[in-house]
Every structure is written in C-alpha cells, then in structure tokens.
Amino acid sequence: MKRPLSSLLTGLTGLATGLLTVGLLSAPAPVAAAAAAPPKWTTTVFASVPAPGYPAYVFKHRNSRVYAGTYVNSSSRKASKVFEWTAGGTLQRSWALPRQLRDGSHGVQVANQTHDGKLVLLETSRSAVITLDIRTGRFRTIARLPGGGVPNYATWGPGGALYVTDYGDGVIWKVSRRGGVTEWFRSTDLDGVEFGTTGIVYRPQKRDFLISQQTSQTAGLPTDGHLFRLGTREGGRAGVLSTLWTSQPGELPDGFGIGRSGHIYIAMAGLTAQLVELSASGRELDRFPDTPFTGENGSRIPFDTPCSATFSGTTVLVANQSAVQGDPSHQAILAVEVGERGRAPYLPKGAGFR
C-alpha cells in the first residue's frame, strides 16, 4: 500500500481492533525427533517495526536477512528508514533515507535486490529507484519515474530489466541496467479509483507477470480489486492482460507470494483484513482468518492493513501497516504458516545497474 496515509481514509470505514492471545499447543515428541510443523495459518509476531513505522512490504534477501522500509504520514518530518532483521527476527541495523522531500507523505519500499546483494529501494517523495549497499551504507539514485509516478513494487524480468508498478497511474515502468526509464505497458485496467496497482512478480517458466490491482475503473464495481496475468512476447514486449481473480469490494489486494505448488497468497489491505490463497489458475481456495473485518489471527497483534505475503521457509511474512488506525503497537511483521515453501523471486545474473 503506497499512498499518503490520509487518502486511505477515503472509502474505508476503518479496521476493527480486536486483539486475541492464543496459546499454541504442541504435541510432545521424542527428543531426537524434529519438531512438528505448526498447523496451517498459525500466526506469530516476527518483529515489531520501530518508528517511523508503517511498513508496507517485507523483503527476504538471499543472505537470509529480512528487510522492510517505512512510510511517514504528512504530519511528520521524520526520514523514512530501512530496517534489517536476522532470519529469526532480531533487529540488526537501520538506515535513514537521505534527500527525501518531507513536506508531505513520504516512504520507502525495499522492493528487491541486485545480483551482487544491494537492496533495490523505491522512494515515493522523489519517485526514485535507489540502491543501498548494505556493506557500506551507500545510497545511489538509479532513476526517477516521470510525471511524479508512485513507485510501488518491482520485479526483475525479461532482458535483465527492472519492472516497476505505479500506484498513481496505470503504467508498468521498465528501468534498464543503465537507469533509463520507459513506459513498458499501459492499460486502463490498471487505473485504480484512488487505490492503484500494487504487487508484481515475474514467472520465468511461464514468461509472464502476475500483477495485483486494488480497485478498477473498467469492470465490475470500482471497489473490486484484481489479480492479472500479463504475458510477454518475443523480444520482451508486453502481451495481453487477462484477469485471473477478482476480489470482493473494498478488499484492496496488495502484495503476494507464490508457493512451490503454484498457489498464490495475497494480502487484503482493505476492510476484510485477510490473506487469500488462490490456485495457480486464480481459483479461490481459502481465506484466513475465517471471520473477516476483525483481523483476529491468533497472535497478540491482529491484522491491521496487512500489505504483503513474502515467503520465508514455510511461512509468509506479512507487513502490518496499520495505515488507518496508525497504531504503533500494530506496526509489525507477522509470520503466517502456510505449509509449503515459496518460489524464490526471479534474480537473473545480470540483475543490477551499471
């Protein structure tokens, strides 16, 4: 979810603040036996996110560390930060974003990594694609989206380029290894009503992209969201956009992860505050929690604007943004057991910038 936080109030009635603590039971096992996996949908708190809070996406690096950026509402002049945790959820380091424009809402997303391990950041106040060298702490601006675009999610794709969704416009931007930005794909289907295009994942085996969209101006109710499939043609050109799945009104589908089974786990950042499991063909298989709107997931922190589902082992890491309530105690990363491992994001050898 990448918008000024005040705009999230439009069209939303707020999320419930139910809080339930459940003790997790584990069956006794022989000392030498491996611990049994917890039941599917078991939710625990991976880590709290310090101020300025409002995490919107969790990125699992190939170094096994976990990273997330923060968003700041328009009343704050604090710089956005990038945080690093161990695989077990222990906070290690943080970096404050330099040269941000802080006279309005501003934020940073840890969207991906380069092949040599740098973080790829999307910074909203300057519409910038930035790298962060986690060994030296050096930030480098690679590109800026034209026309005040709102960079949201990013994936490596055909030709070793970076493909970036724009939350404020119906465009997929292509960023070359030299930092050149071109409009790679545009569609009215990606024009949202206040809430726009979110997650994007390239599937090299199928030579296509999966793209999530929070609202729509072209089909069904304007508050319906979608998961789209966008094929590619020879030479890396965009193909035909088709709908795999349509959400319920006001659910605001956000970031998602893909399991080894092909199942897609997508976070609903809107009113229902759930995770939805889809088959590879887009058929809805399950929802968690069973009861929508409350966010009660069995952990000490309820879902409160859950914005992503990033695989780490057999769990998905969910960024709990608390965009509407603005509750710092809810701004955390939650770990939800899904019972399968995920597919690693596409990272070609040439992934990086010259």
Q: C-alpha angle 74/214/147, rounded to 5°?
A: 55
Q: Tell me the two tokens of residue 250.
A: 């006001």
Q: What is the pLDDT of residue 79?
A: 92
Q: C-alpha angle 284/163/92, rounded to 5°?
A: 85
Q: What is the pLDDT of residue 34?
A: 53
Cα distance between residue 297 and residue 208, in whole Å: 33
Closest residue by Cα to residue 289 from 300, 302, 280, 307: 302
Answering whether pTM is above 0.75, one says yes
Q: What is the pLDDT of residue 37?
A: 81
Bridge partners (DSSP) listed for residue 172:
165, 185
Cα distance between residue 97 and residue 207, in whole Å: 34
Ordered structural domains, the chain, with CATH: 37-337 (2.130.10.10)
Express each pLDDT in 185-197 by its tens digit.
999 999 999 899 9
pLDDT at residue 13 greater than cutoff 80: no
For 56-108, the DSSP string reads --EEE-TTS-EEEE-EE-TT--PPPEEEEE-TTS-EEEEEEPTT---SS-EEE
Cα distance between residue 76 and residue 109, in whole Å: 18
Cα distance between residue 165 and residue 149, in whole Å: 9
